[in-house]
Amino acid sequence: MNDTDIRSLYGLKYNPFLPDVPTEALYALPGTRRFIMRIQNMAARGGFAMITGDPGLGKSKTLQKIAHKLEQVPDLAVGVMQRPQSKLADFYRELGELYSVNLSPSNRYGGFKALRHRWKAHCQSTLLRPVLLIDEAQQTAPECLTELRLMQSHHFDSQNLLFTILCGDNRLPDKFRTTELLPLGSRIGPRLVLLPLSPEQLQDYLNFVLDQAGNSQLMTKELIRTLAAHAANNLRVLNQMAAELLTAAAEQNLKRIDESLFFELFSPTDKPPTKRR
């Protein structure tokens, strides 16, 4: 059964457990509202910010929520890097495409000057710093991060020409403890560390996403508690289990999803062999 049939069967505006949830319906994780407010204030002066946490805790969705907020600011240029693992030449080339600057790979100094000139012009015309968002930033080469730090620093490091938000797993802060990247690590301002969610917080998440999708009664309260208790405090695990439950319920044409389907799908059915003396 495809996703369209599932949504039609249960009166859902979208599947709340798939990655393509509308940005305006994303759940606000603990600490993110205050962090986003700080980010919006920093757009006027630039610098660096960072989001970190274990895989599956909602880092990329938080960055997506930030991008949506920043893109609503009039005249603010927001660039999202697609290949954070690029070498320095391709790193420059992508920056040029993001900010509409024609760069020559053979003339890196010319590209350095052209990008800074574009960013200066943006700062003067809007009084805001252009924004660069880098997801999976733990994959970015140290030489690219160093080049970015030097490129956005202006007038003896007293001004910033860019506002860069780095998002990655727990390898990212470890990179900034190395000698090579320590100067950049010391310049990072707001930091958001996402932590595993408690079962109660996961229950709140499920209630929120079901209500936003248009069917708050889709799952019983007992099932919501059971899912939250078995999700290993991880949003990605929770969504994967819930999506599988939703598909199985639609195939069985169930009106509502309860605990019995959960145990049918996720409990072992084969008994272990008994030991003989």
Asked whether residue 258 falls in the same domain as residue 184, the answer is: no
Q: What is the pLDDT of residue 3?
A: 86
Beta bridge partners of 185: none
Domain-ending residue, one of 174, 194, 214: 194
| Contact (Cβ atoms closer than 8 angstroms) between residue 149 and residue 112 | no
Q: Amino acid letter at 175? A: K
Is there a domain that residue 273 lies in?
A: no
Is there a domain that residue 272 lies in?
A: no
Longest dimension (CA), the chain: 84
Nearest alpha carbon to residue 191 among 48, 81, 61, 60: 48
Domain-ending residue, one of 146, 177, 194: 194
- Total domains in the chain come to 2
Asked whether residue 247 falls in the same domain as residue 117, the answer is: no
CATH code, 157: 3.40.50.300
Q: What is the pLDDT of residue 277?
A: 39
Asked whether residue 238 falls in the same domain as residue 111, the answer is: no
Q: What is the pTM of this model?
A: 0.91
Asked whether residue 152 falls in the same domain as residue 239, the answer is: no
Is there a domain that residue 241 lies in?
A: yes
Beta bridge partners of 79: 132
Asked whether residue 137 falls in the same domain as residue 235, the answer is: no
The Cα 205–Cα 227 span in angstroms is: 11
Q: What is the pLDDT of residue 276?
A: 41
CATH code, 227: 1.10.8
Asked whether residue 159 falls in the same domain as residue 43, the answer is: yes
Is there a domain that residue 275 lies in?
A: no
78-81 vs 131-134, strand pairing mode: parallel
Asked whether residue 114 falls in the same domain as residue 249, the answer is: no
* Residue-number span of the structural domain to which 55 is assigned: 31-194
SS3 readout for 7-67: HHHHCCCCCCCCCCCCHHHCCCCCCHHHHHHHHHHHCCCCEEEEEEECCCCCHHHHHHHHH
Domain-ending residue, one of 142, 159, 194: 194
Q: Report the chain (277 residues): mean pLDDT per 10 consecutive residues.
A: 90 96 94 94 94 97 96 95 95 95 86 95 95 98 96 94 97 95 96 97 98 97 97 97 96 95 83 47
